[in-house]
Structure formats: structure tokens, C-alpha cells
């Protein structure tokens, strides 16, 4: 089985040389173990944080070891009565083709889980995107953290990405005016096709702050923050009194090597009585059952559509990951195996 290991820690933007491809023998199955062949792997922006050796809400990746991340696989052999060949499972073993794991030992060790997935007719990779962690992140951020309420005008950055595309559509199906920001004409066209009211192509706009003022003349009530920097500055500038900011991520800062700078107009949070609240989706898994129910309904009613960008083969995982920081993904970035 082949796997991708972290060879060196990126300084600034991640590059190919930070990764290496290795081949390992997969042992015969032990008692209680199952063998999983990954079908789809996820690459996610938060992995950049884990490539740096520092304290965070998840421990750093270890050099010389396979990168961990969300994946969907198929059980190919099983010594655990709860799993049988052909079961589709979600795991966090990440960037490798085939592996053995003992689901019970894993659960007992508090090391995450092997979760059997009933796909309900959806393609399995949807559980890495719209019906998986990014979809739940959109749901939690918008409905719990920002506490979306009638009449809110919603602004979303990285709007054409895995999380952003779901944020836009949940807000639309609940009847809101939505403003999305993304880079490039293809993303703009996609966002318009899913009903986003105003799209800012921030790469073609010299002044994001002025552009947001123009498309939201009465201001915004909710900001779903994925990017940081000038997008946060624009949101603060256009915020109405009592606006709520769900701080989901700030990808424009993940590769910064110098001192990070905050938005120069943060003081507006005081006078406007803004609420800025960060969140990590894994602290909100209690909402997962409700999310899956709602999402199944929305997809069934054709109210949520999604895009994905696919790289083929485990050896392409570093490319897929690097592309996230260049904006070369439309919707969820995925690696297809086998």
C-alpha cells in the first residue's frame, strides 16, 4: 500500500518537497481488525496548521509518518463482527491506500472512530464534503454560532469552497440575501448558479471594503469568516449594529511566516456591539444527527447542490492540498483512489 508522509515542515506555502510517497507492507489481519481500502481522501486547510510544530487544538503531524485526515473507504476483510466486506466506512487515517485497524481498540483509546456510513443513495465522497465535516461546519457556524434569524443579510468569504458553498445555500433556502466572495470568473458563475445574490470576485476587485459597501448598501448582519485579512476588514466596515461573526477560519493567514496583523478597524466591533465568535466543528458534533436529517431533506428537494474538484491517486494528495492555498479548487477538494 502506498502512503504520503510529511517529509519536512512547510515554511510559508507548502511545496511538493514537504511530502514523500512511501510503500508499506500491509500485514495479515489480527484479531478484531478490519482491512480498509480507501476510496476517497480529503485534503483540508486545517492540515496546514498541523504541519507546523506548535500547540493547537490538534497535535502536530509527525515527520516521517503518513498524514492523517478524513477518508472514506471500503471494508475488504474483517475480523470484527460489526463490520463486513463491502461496508463503507469513514475514518481519520488519511493519506494511504490500504490499512488495518481495530475499530474497538480505536474507540477504547479515544482515538476517533471507524464509522459505518449509510450513504442514503449519495455518492460516498459526499460524506467528506456537503454531507460530512465541511457541511456540518457550515451548518454549525451559520445556525448555532451566528444564530441566523429572519431578515439577516449574510456575507460569506471563500464562498465557492467546500464550507462556503454550503453556507451560501443554507442561507438562501432560509430566505436570506447572500453575498459571497471568491476568486475568479468560474467561481463567480457557480455562485450565481446556486442563487447567491451578489458575488464579489475579490481577485478582480481593487478594494473589497468598498465593493462590499456597494453591494450591501444597508450593511450585513452575519459574516461567515473563512479568509481573514481584508475580508474581515470589509465585514467589520459593513456590519450593522449587533451583527454576528462566525469565525470559522482565516486561510489567508495560514502560510504567513512573519507577525500576523489584525484588521485595522477592529475598533468598530465596540461601537456596533458586534459579536465575534470562533468555533471548531468537533466541539459541536451533537448537531450531527439533526444536520444529516436536514441535509438529506435539502438534497432530496434539490435545494443544495455542490461542486467538487478531484485529483486521482494517492500520489496526487500533496498537489490537491497545495492547490487549496492557490484557490484551484471549486467546491470540495478530493483525492480519488483506486
Contact set with ligand NDP (CB under 6 A): 44-46, 134, 137, 158, 160-164, 182-184, 187, 226-227, 248-249, 251-252, 279-281, 324-325, 327, 329, 333
Q: Determine the distance from the C-alpha atom of residue 285 to the mean position of all C-alpha atoms in its chain, rounded to a whole number.
A: 15
Residue nearest to ligand NDP (CB): 161
Q: How far is the CB of 282 from ligand NDP (least distance, A)?
A: 7
User: What minimum distance in Å lies between the beta carbon of 144 and ligand NDP?
Assistant: 12
Q: Which of 215, 191, 225, 187 is nearest to 203 (CA)?
A: 187
Give least dist CB 215 to ligand NDP, A. Answer: 16
In the complex, least distance from residue 320 CB atom to ligand NDP, rounded to whole angstroms: 11
Helix (H, G, I), strand (E, B) or coil at 332: strand
Rounded Cα distance between 236 and 313, Å, is: 42
CB of 57 to ligand NDP, least distance (A): 9
How near is the Cβ of 10 to ligand NDP at its closest, in Å? 14
Element (H, E) at 163: helix 162-173
Handedness of CA 187, 189, 195, 200 (dihedral sign): positive
> In terms of CB distance, is 38 or 137 closer to ligand NDP?
137
Report the alpha-carbon distance of residue 231 to residue 168 in Å, rounded.
16
The residue (of 44 and 211) whose beta carbon lies closer to ligand NDP is: 44
Separation of alpha carbons 338 and 333, rounded Å = 17
**Burial (0-12, 13-18, 19+ Cβ within 10 Å), 109:** exposed
Please state, as a whole number, how many other Cβ atoms lie within 10 Å of the Cβ of residue 270. 8
Using the minimum distance from each CB to ligand NDP, give the nearer residue, 42 or 102: 42
Query: 44 vs 233, which CB is nearer to ligand NDP?
Result: 44
Nearer to ligand NDP, 298 or 325 (CB): 325
Q: Of 107 and 204, which has the nearer Cβ to ligand NDP? A: 204
From 159, 125, 146, 99, select the one nearest 41 (Cα to Cα).
125
Amino acid at each position: 500500500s502506498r502512503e504520503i508522509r510529511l517529509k519536512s515542515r512547510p515554511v510559508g506555502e507548502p511545496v511538493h518537497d514537504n511530502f514523500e510517497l512511501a510503500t508499506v507492507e500491509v500485514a495479515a489481519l489480527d484479531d478484531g481488525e478490519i482491512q480498509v481500502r480507501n476510496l476517497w481522501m480529503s485534503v483540508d486547510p486545517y492540515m496546514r496548521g498541523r504541519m507546523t510544530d506548535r500547540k493547537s487544538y490538534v497535535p502536530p503531524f509527525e515527520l516521517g509518518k503518513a498524514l492523517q485526515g478524513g477518508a472514506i473507504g471500503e471494508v475488504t476483510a474483517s475480523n470484527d463482527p460489526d463490520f463486513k466486506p463491502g461496508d463503507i466506512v469513514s475514518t481519520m487515517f488519511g493519506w494511504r491506500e490500504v490499512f488495518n485497524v481495530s475499530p474497538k481498540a480505536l474507540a477504547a483509546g479515544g482515538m476517533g472512530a471507524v464509522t459505518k456510513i449509510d450513504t442514503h443513495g449519495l455518492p460516498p465522497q459526499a460524506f467528506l464534503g456537503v454531507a460530512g465535516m465541511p457541511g456540518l461546519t457550515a451548518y454549525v457556524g451559520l445556525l448555532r454560532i451566528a444564530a441566523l434569524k429572519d431578515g439577516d443579510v449574510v456575507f460569506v468569504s471563500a464562498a465557492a469552497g467546500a464550507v462556503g458553498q454550503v453556507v451560501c445555500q443554507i442561507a438562501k433556502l432560509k430566505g436570506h440575501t447572500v453575498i459571497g466572495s471568491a476568486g475568479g470568473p468560474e467561481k463567480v458563475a457557480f455562485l450565481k448558479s446556486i442563487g447567491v445574490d451578489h458575488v464579489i470576485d475579490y481577485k478582480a476587485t481593487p478594494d473589497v471594503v468598498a465593493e462590499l459597501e456597494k453591494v450591501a448598501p444597508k450593511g450585513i448582519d452575519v459574516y461567515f469568516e473563512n479568509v481573514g485579512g481584508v475580508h474581515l476588514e470589509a465585514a467589520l466596515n459593513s456590519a450593522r449594529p449587533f451583527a454576528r461573526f462566525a469565525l470559522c477560519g482565516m486561510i489567508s493567514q495560514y502560510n504567513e511566516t512573519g507577525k500576523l496583523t489584525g484588521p485595522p478597524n477592529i475598533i468598530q466591533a465596540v461601537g456596533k456591539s458586534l459579536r465575534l465568535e470562533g468555533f471548531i466543528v468537533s466541539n459541536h458534533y451533537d448537531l450531527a444527527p439533526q444536520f444529516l436529517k436536514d441535509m438529506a431533506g435539502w438534497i432530496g428537494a434539490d435545494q443544495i447542490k455542490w461542486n467538487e474538484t478531484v485529483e486521482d491517486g494517492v500520489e496526487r494528495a500533496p498537489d490537491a492540498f497545495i492547490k487549496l492555498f492557490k484557490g484551484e479548487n471549486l467546491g470540495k477538494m478530493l483525492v480519488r483512489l483506486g
